[in-house]
């Protein structure tokens, strides 16, 4: 694979073991960012193209959510609130915070729920390719009704072939990630099919329209202007609710992989902007790499 930050397992009594990627910036005053990936991804799959660029400007922790990647395996049904609490527990266990919570797609709701339930841990927000809610239109409701079919596909012997073909179609031979496409396929196979279905259902129930505007921290948003999964109109509604700084990128929903250079540049711009807007000492640093 390309460069990856060191990985470690954080053990939390009564909760479980959580796999994280952890980078410590040499400047102790640099902000710390909590990376929260999207549905069916992992921290590596979501932020692979931005890791190195982010490492230049901040410390960061990337967590694999329940059932995703190397994330916690649990018999409990997947709930977004539990995922936000997982992230909070990891931050408290590491003695880190407050942080800039950065969430892509499903990670956006997780970031907002983290800020709402644990305001002492979040000093700023960056959300990307995400929305206030996920089921207001007929098209979205139909998508969630197809989840059982997705579950069958995820358990099929054809899954590796389908993912491989899809990755080859998505990535252009000129992209920096093209040489690592087989590794990307292998990482995608780590996801737990049952949890993918439950996570989709959890997204279909998410609605922050009544409370998102109450979150009073500096915020920024990456709007994916060619997004066919989360329409730009819905992303702009979230931007308005958060009073967020907006950076637009001409990309579809999988642009973090398809256009890693543009994604990384926009992500760094937003993190730097939010960090600059914070009062001194409110973007928590990681104390050590040990």
Identify the domain containing residue 54 by its residue range. Answer: 7-277
Domain assignment present for 172:
yes
User: Which of 125-139, 161-175, 269-283 is the least confident region?
Assistant: 161-175
Question: Whole-angstrom Cα distance, residue 20 to residue 28?
Answer: 20
3-state secondary structure of 218: coil
pLDDT digits over 35-64, tens only?
999 999 999 999 999 999 999 999 999 999
Among residues of the chain, what percentage have pLDDT more than 90?
70
Identify the CATH number of the domain in which residue 127 sits. 3.40.50.1820
Q: What is the DSSP string of 36-94?
A: E--TT--HHHHHTTTHHHHHTT-EEEEEPPTTSTTPPP-SSPP-HHHHHHHHHHHHHHH
Question: Whole-angstrom Cα distance, residue 157 to residue 162?
Answer: 10
pLDDT of residue 290: 33
Domain assignment present for 148:
yes
Side-chain-side CA neighbours of residue 172 (13 Å) = 8
pLDDT digits over 63-120, tens only?
999 999 999 999 999 999 999 999 999 999 999 989 999 999 999 999 999 999 999 9
More confident residue, 285 or 268: 268
Domain assignment present for 137:
yes
Domain assignment present for 75:
yes
pLDDT of residue 25: 96
pLDDT of residue 197: 87
More confident residue, 150 or 45: 45
Domain assignment present for 195:
yes
Closest Cα to residue 144, out of 253, 254, 227, 39?
39
3-state secondary structure of 21: strand
Contact 72, 17 (CB under 8 A): yes
Domain assignment present for 81:
yes
Question: How many domains does the chain fold into?
Answer: 1
Domain assignment present for 288:
no
Contact 103, 131 (CB under 8 A): no
């Amino acid at each position: 694979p390309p460069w990856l930050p060191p990985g470690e397992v954080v053990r939390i009594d009564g909760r479980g073991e959580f796999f994280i990627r952890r980078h410590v910036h040499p400047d102790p005053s640099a902000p710390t960012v909590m990376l929260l990936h999207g549905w069916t991804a992992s921290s590596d799959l979501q932020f692979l193209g931005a890791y190195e660029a982010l490492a230049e400007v901040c410390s960061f922790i990337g967590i694999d959510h329940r059932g995703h990647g190397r994330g916690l395996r649990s018999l409990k049904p997947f709930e977004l609130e539990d995922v936000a609490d997982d992230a909070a527990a990891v931050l408290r266990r590491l003695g880190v915070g407050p942080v800039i919570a950065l969430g892509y797609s499903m990670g956006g709701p997780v970031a907002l729920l983290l800020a709402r339930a644990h305001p002492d841990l979040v000093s700023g927000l960056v959300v990307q390719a995400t929305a206030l809610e996920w089921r207001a239109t007929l098209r979205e409701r139909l998508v969630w009704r197809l989840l059982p079919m997705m579950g069958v596909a995820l358990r099929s012997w054809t899954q590796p072939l389908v993912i491989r073909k899809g990755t080859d179609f998505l990535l252009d031979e000129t992209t920096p990630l093209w040489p690592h496409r087989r590794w990307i396929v292998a990482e995608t196979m780590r996801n737990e099919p049952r949890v993918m279905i439950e996570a989709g259902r959890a997204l279909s129930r998410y609605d922050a329209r009544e409370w998102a505007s109450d979150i009073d921290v500096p915020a920024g948003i990456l709007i994916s202007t060619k997004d066919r999964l989360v329409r730009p109109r819905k992303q702009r509604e979230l931007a308005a609710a958060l009073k967020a700084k907006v950076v637009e990128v001409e990309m579809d929903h999988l642009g973090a992989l398809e256009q890693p250079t543009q994604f990384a540049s926009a992500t760094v711009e937003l993190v730097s902007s939010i960090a600059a807007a914070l009062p001194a000492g409110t973007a928590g640093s990681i104390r050590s790499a040990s």
